[in-house]
Each structure stands twice: as C-alpha cells, then as structure tokens.
Amino acid sequence: MPTDHPLIKPAKKPTVLIVGAGIGGLTLATLLHKADVPFQLYDRMTEIKPLGSALSLGVNVIPLMQQLGLYEEILSLSKRPKSVDNYSEDLQLQFSMSFQPSDEMSGFTGGILSRSLFHQLLFRQIPSDRIHMNKRVLSMQQNEHGVRLQFSDGSSADGDILVGADGAYSAVRQSLYQSLKRKDQLPEIDDGALPFSCVCLVGQTKPMDPEKFPELQDPACHFSIVVGDDKPYSWSTLTTKGNIYCWSVALNLDKESSKDHDSFRNTEWGPEAATAMCKDVRDFALPGGRGLGRKMTLGDLIDQTPLISKVMLEEKVFTTWHAGRTVLLGDACHKIHPASGAGAINAMQDAVALANWISILDTTTAEDIEMAFREYKEERYPAAVASFNAGQALSRLRGTSFKARFVRFLTRNMPAWMYRIAVKSMVANRPQVSFLPQIEDKGLEPPKYQPSLQKTLAIRKAREEAAAASASNTLETVKEQEPSMK
C-alpha cells in the first residue's frame, strides 16, 4: 500500500456513537475500546434482560474471541455438540449432522452457551461510563461536520460516526431511510415492511434435575431438532452448562398465515403474546428425560423457564448499508432466518470489518469516513447474502411441505464428500482484526481472504515505515547540527 493512500493522514480519531447494545453493538464497542477509538454506546432498554435462547459460537468467530482474550472463559461457559440430531415427531432419529468436519477444516473448536451469558461477558469488556441505558432515539441529524442524536429523555449526543446496531426495526435505519427517501435516494427494494415467514418462541430454563434429565450430565451438548409431521412447527433443544436447557419453537408461516400474524411486530425480544403459543406447543414431544418415567415434552421446559419471548423472525438483506456519517450493522442491515444459527455470528463479523476500518481512521472528514464504509459494505454484503441464502435453505429442513420432506431425504442421503463441501463454505469466513496480535490459523482449509484485515494491515505497515523514516531523518538532522551547536 503506497504511503500516499488517502487514509494515511495525521489528524484525530473520530468519535463513534453506537446505538444498540445487542451482540453486534457490544462486539463493536469492545473492539473500538481495544483499538483506543473514542465511542459511546446507547440502548433503549432500561436494563439488560436475559432474553433469548442458546448461542452457537462457531469456528467463524473463535479466532476473534482468542484475539480478545475471551476464548478460555467461553470454553468454561459452553458445551460443544458432537452433532445436530434431527428427529421426526414420533422421535425417530432421521439423520445427524456432525461438527467434526468444521473443526478439522478450521483448526478451531466452538461451543454452545446461553445467549444471555455471552451478552453479559461482552458487557463486562466495556467501561461502564461508555454505556448508556434508557436512551431511546427520537431523531438523528448529520452533515459534513458531524452527527447528532436526540433522545426521548431530552438529552443529545454528538459524534463523527453513527452506527445503527439496533436490530431488525432499527430506529437509526428508519431515520436514515426516511432522509434518503425525501431526497429520492432510497432504492425501492429497501422501502416497505420487512417480510417474515416464521414466529418463534424461545427461552432458557432454570437449572434442571440431572436425575430426571440425565442428558444434562453429558459434557457434550445435546442438540436436537424435531419437525412436526402434520403441523407447521419445528422445535429444538440444547443442553448447556449449569444443567440448563435452551429451547425454541418455530411456527412456519405461509402467505395466508403470515397475514394473521402481521399485527404482531416487535422492535425487540419480549414476553408479549407468548402465553397463548406456550399452550399450543407444551405437549410437543422431546428426546431425553429418561428419568421422568414418561415422555418428555416442551411443557417440562416451559414450566421451568422464567422468561419466555415470542418474536417475529424477519428475513431480508438491505442494499443500503450507509450514507454520510451513518452506517448499519447486524440485523439493522441483514435479518437472516434462525435456522442458519448465523444471525449473531454475522453481526460479530460485521463488527470486525467495521472496526478494522474505523481503527485506521485518523481523520474526521466525511469523505474518508464514507470511504471506510464503502470498504466495509463491499466485504460484508456478499457474506450476508450467502448467509441469508443458507438460512433459507436450512429452513427447508424444518418445513412440513413435500418440498421440505424431499430436502430432508436428500440431506439424509448426502454423500460424505458433498457434506464436506457444504461445511467448507460455511467455515471459510474466519475474520480477525488488524490492531490485535494475529491468531495462527491451523485449519486444513485456509480462511477466505479478508480485505479489511489485509488492507488495514498494509496501511498500518505503511504508517510505521513512514514514521520510522521520519524519525531516522530527524536523527540525522540532529547529528548534522551537533558540530555547529558545539
């Protein structure tokens, strides 16, 4: 990279305002803190609640967790599944999908843990004076000089960069898109309501009795998926550390049933409307629970779950990720079907690419900031589209249509070599940041080329060489002046 690259300008680091303290926003805040970039993090919630179910921290983000020094703690909080076991409604095992090939190809081992535990772990990495709760965004303004947020409590915040990491119904995205639409600059494809094909019920139990549920004692995670034979439901369970079950139920919708649920749209995970759905699904059978002396059901887990959330699971990849000083991250710019298990992973990978570019910005000009945003989207947009397509394909494994049954038949009879090809594409993205020591990759398959890593490493090297040359010239000048000074 030549030293006259437009981003190599001595000035000052931009101040970043992050809206949304979800996994994507917290990951970005953690990275900016490590990179010594000034930032503030805002969230509309009054407090962090233990919402959601399990989180699979796969090999795609383990190198990042090692860079952050969090990997060992993550291992202590998680269990590693040997496979994903797929059952029919009468609990006959149909097929299993092994995790071993992904470990071999990547050289890393991931784990499954409670989403809330991981959220708390990230929360602890950020100085408390940088996190501001109960801050609902009312409006945002931006110009060539900076960006300003106005909150519902009457306060405001000023910065150089605004990151919308505030979920599928992002207030930042909506404000940005409204501004672009007024200027006739918003693509038609990005206008309108988010499509959805699934309603999901999720929760995690209190510690359960391992005598009644002996699978909890296994050091490996039991990851099971059951597909209804004649009902539009699929349900899954995962055993995690602390004798806890994480579980979810997905109601798969068609065009007509989607209309019936259209009035239920949430901007965040929550317990609203969960009670009725719990009654509908509590008798669904589950594998496990041999110590109960009877068939285990979802009701056994529901009754031991203190907080159950019901959410719409929208699916869309937006094409407008940034404009001016504002950029979007995670669900705010791509909402992926949960069957892929890649929503949070993609948000973290977004944070890596964005942090790489923000970390080398020594300027607050809109031109240079937009250049960084363009690089970020160029790297992450194709990956988000690929994950979106993979999520839709995997969602067919959980359907009840003839097509879904046919897809399950093909999966059950997939040759090992073909399965390895599919796994290879899933583990290809293993990003790292350029401002922390690099983690040696020992996988059988090399990681996919990461533009933000390689380009920003080159910029850093060019700056170091320029600084070294400048220091050397200064030293020579001093030496030349020494005789005259004497």
- pLDDT single digits (tens) 250-275: 888 765 444 444 444 444 445 556 88
pLDDT, residue 401, reads 67
Strand ranges for 38-132 from DSSP E:
39-42, 54-57, 81-88, 93-98, 111-114, 131-132
Q: What is the pLDDT of residues 464-476, one digit of tens each?
A: 888 888 777 777 7
Contact 293, 187 (CB under 8 A): no
Distance CA 156, CA 149 (A): 5
Q: What is the pLDDT of residues 51-101, one digit of tens each?
A: 678 888 888 999 999 999 999 999 999 999 999 999 999 999 999 988 888
Residues in contact with 416: Cβ distance below 8 Å, sequence separation at least 6, in sequence order: none
Distance CA 20, CA 155 (A): 17
Whether the CA torsion 157, 162, 163, 166 is positive or negative: it is: positive
Written as six digits, the tokens of 447 are 């990681």
Of the given ranges (107-111, 233-237, 319-323, 446-450), which has the lowest mean pLDDT? 107-111
- CATH number of 16-49+114-194+317-454: 3.90.1170.50, 3.50.50.60, 3.30.43.10, 3.30.70.100? 3.50.50.60
Query: 3-state DSSP: the chain helix, strand, coil percent, rounded to 5?
Result: 40, 20, 40
Burial category of 334 from C-beta neighbours within 10 Å (exposed 0-12, middle 13-18, buried 19 and up): buried
Confidence of residue 105 (pLDDT cuts 50, 70, 90): confident
Distance CA 99, CA 418 (A): 15
Looking at the chain, the domain(s) classified CATH 3.50.50.60 span 16-49+114-194+317-454
Q: Which 8-state DSSP code applies to residue 292?
A: G
Confidence of residue 47 (pLDDT cuts 50, 70, 90): confident
Computed over every residue of the chain, the mean pLDDT equals 87
- DSSP H helices in 16-56: 23-34
Distance CA 333, CA 330 (A): 6
Distance CA 274, CA 305 (A): 12
Please state the φ and ψ torsions of residue 78, each to the nearest 5 degrees: -125, 165
pLDDT at 49 over 70: no
- DSSP H helices in 323-365: 343-359
pLDDT, residue 174, reads 95
State the CB neighbour count (10 A cutoff) for residue 299: 15
**For the whole model, what pTM was predicted?**
0.89
